[in-house]
Structure 1
Amino acid sequence: MKSAKAIIVALIIAAIGLGILALAGWGDTRSGGLPVMLAAGLIAFGLNWLVFIPSAIAKTEKFYDLTGSLTYMSVMAFAVLQSAPVDWRALLVAGCVVIWSMRLGIFLFARISEDKADQRFNEIKQNPARFFVTWTLQGLWVSLTAACALMVITTQTPQPVDLFLIIGLAMWVAGFAIEVIADNQKRAFKRDPANDGQFIQTGLWAWSRHPNYFGEILLWIGIAVTALPVLAGPQWVVLISPVFVILLLTRVSGIPLLEKAADVRWGDNAAYQAYKARTPVLLMKPPSRAS
């Protein structure tokens, strides 16, 4: 019975993601009679469901993050090819998403290859139905997060290079740089044996307790800004993209889980409590000279 409920939940999740993309792409039937955005969503879910099968058999999550990265790249490539010829706005936005997803996929795959298994999946991967929901959620993550980028690529009313594109790309570059620098700083910190059992509070991590997530949120808001000039009517629904990213990272799977784990590990550590008191959880603030 529980398995049946999990499958129903997965189907509802897929229906929500595909419904939003279908609404945004209404009237665009350039891909086999389907809106390109809807077809892209079907690819996003289909790829994850396909890789789920061998992953469930082997009870492994090793290819989860890599599949997410490949899904972003596949969806972008499909949208560009189906919408060709595309303008500079579309090419730049697609390039930004591909660069981000490629970097993140390589980083996460390398991390899980070096470290122990992802603790999030310890119980879930033992239950095929629950594991299927997790892969379906990744399809939703790609579909909704990339919605603004897909709108820019598939729009039938392209706009010339403007201030929205310049500001949006500047935000993306800044966010991408922050995310990459923060991830690399933490990776270098954890690789140093002298830091075993310690928490990072240097570099960008002195500005925010989660600077990598701040960077990720900023870059997706930048993508949304680039999409503003091409939106009309029901297409405005794609602005769910940055909202979804913010809620996901601040309320669901990002910051809450990491903060809880850190409190369990260092909750009675006076230095950690001082770090929490002076450092914002997400927004970046220059550390005081005293700290």
Structure 2
Amino acid sequence: MSTWSEFFLITATALVLLAVIQAITFAVGHRIGRYNVVDVSWGLGFVAVAAAAAVLGSGDASRRFLLLALVTVWGLRLTWHMYRKSLGKGEDPRYTEMLERAGGNAVGTVVRKIFVTQGAAQWFVSLPIQVSAVLGPTRGVGTVVLWVGVAAWVIGLSFEAIGDLQLRRFKSDPANRGRVMDRGLWAWTRHPNYFGDATVWWGVWLIAASVWPGVVTVASPAIMTYFLVYATGARLLEQSMSERPGYPEYQQRTSYFVPRPPRSRDPGR
């Protein structure tokens, strides 16, 4: 089988797996009456694609299974976090607003606006994993690029996991009710989890880019970053948070996305 025939087999398998995962997730969401359950299956979809790529690909085995390990750790952690976050809660306001703008929550609208879109995004963002699975070994300067990618993944996962843990502990303290989280990583960026997520996927891309033509999949982390910053992530959250007491002041002293030291709380300094 040629390299690109193998790639088409992997990408077709990925599409089927993602379609099945999204169909099951829709059925669960329809039954419980809230579609934010799609966030729980987000990480699982990438794990499924990485597993298919590792098993079906005949490219460099060490890189295939490295990516499988990294994506599995990231995906399962995120799945567990989103499950705990949404358990016992109502619908995510982002999805409510999205469906209202689209004309209601008819089944066709829900499937198209949420589940098809989510599945397509998973497929596109995971292209570096799919392409890498059919490519030869990493050599020379590519080895440096690969390890820079691993380092970026570690930094990204750390921001995600630590930021989520800090926020969960902050919210669990009744004394913090109504207050804005501005401690730990949240003092350096208003969205450490989204920054971490973007960094994880730039790391995955660098690993794929360590051998030609993996570099051509650069649109995948770029699109992921765009969605996290402008489309469905930080921007929408900022819209809902901006009305909370203390949040405008938090915005003035804390970086929007890329971490940097916080500005002084004293406007006169």
Report TM bin, short chain. Answer: 0.7 to 0.9
Distance in 1 separating the partners of 2:210 and 2:190: 34
Residue identity in the other structure for 1:171: A
Does 1:262 find its partner at 2:241? yes
Partner of 1:149 in structure 2? 129
Which TM-score applies when normalising by structure 1? 0.80
* From 30, 39, 46, the counterpart of 1:72: 46
- After TM superposition, the structure 1 stretch with the greater mean CA deviation from structure 2, 66-75 or 276-285, is 66-75
Partner of 1:100 in structure 2? 74
Does 1:273 find its partner at 2:233? no
Does 1:287 find its partner at 2:255? no
Residue identity in the other structure for 1:105: T
Distance in 2 separating the partners of 1:227 and 1:84: 14
Partner of 2:16 in structure 1? 42
Does 1:139 find its partner at 2:122? no
Does 1:188 find its partner at 2:162? no
Distance in 1 separating the partners of 2:230 and 2:264: 31
* From 219, 235, 240, the counterpart of 1:240: 219
Shift of 1:106: 0.5
Which TM-score applies when normalising by structure 2? 0.86
Distance in 2 separating the partners of 1:240 and 1:144: 9
Partner of 1:253 in structure 2? 232
Distance in 2 separating the partners of 1:55 and 1:154: 35
Maintained 8 Å contact 1:174/1:215: yes
Maintained 8 Å contact 1:59/1:126: no
C-alpha change, 1:113 and 1:53, in structure 2 (3 Å) is: closer
Distance in 2 separating the partners of 1:27 and 1:53: 36
Deviations 1:66-111 (A, max 9, x none): 2222222211111111125742122111211111111001100111
Does 1:29 find its partner at 2:5? yes
Residue identity in the other structure for 1:249: L
Partner of 2:106 in structure 1? 127
Does 1:214 find its partner at 2:189? no
Residue identity in the other structure for 1:243: A
Distance in 2 separating the partners of 1:243 and 1:213: 13
- After TM superposition, the structure 1 stretch with the greater mean CA deviation from structure 2, 80-89 or 204-213, is 80-89
Q: Percent identity?
A: 26
Does 1:168 find its partner at 2:149? yes
Deviations 1:44-66 (A, max 9, x none): 23421343245335533253222
Maintained 8 Å contact 1:37/1:154: no
Distance in 2 separating the partners of 1:137 and 1:85: 29
Deviations 1:128-168 (A, max 9, x none): 1121020111112211221112222232x232471011111
Unaligned segments of structure 1, at least 5 residues: 1-25
Shift of 1:36: 1.4
Maintained 8 Å contact 2:46/2:75: yes
Distance in 2 separating the partners of 1:52 and 1:116: 16
Aligned residues: 257
Distance in 2 separating the partners of 1:236 and 1:226: 9
Residue identity in the other structure for 2:127: A
Cα RMSD, aligned residues only: 2.4
C-alpha change, 1:289 and 1:251, in structure 2 (3 Å) is: closer
Distance in 1 separating the partners of 2:240 and 2:263: 26
C-alpha change, 1:27 and 1:210, in structure 2 (3 Å) is: same
Query: Would you identify which runs of 4 or more consecutive aligned residues in structure 1 move more than 6 Å?
Result: none
Distance in 1 separating the partners of 2:236 and 2:54: 36
- After TM superposition, the structure 1 stretch with the greater mean CA deviation from structure 2, 45-54 or 64-73, is 45-54
Partner of 1:228 in structure 2? 209
Shift of 1:113: 0.2
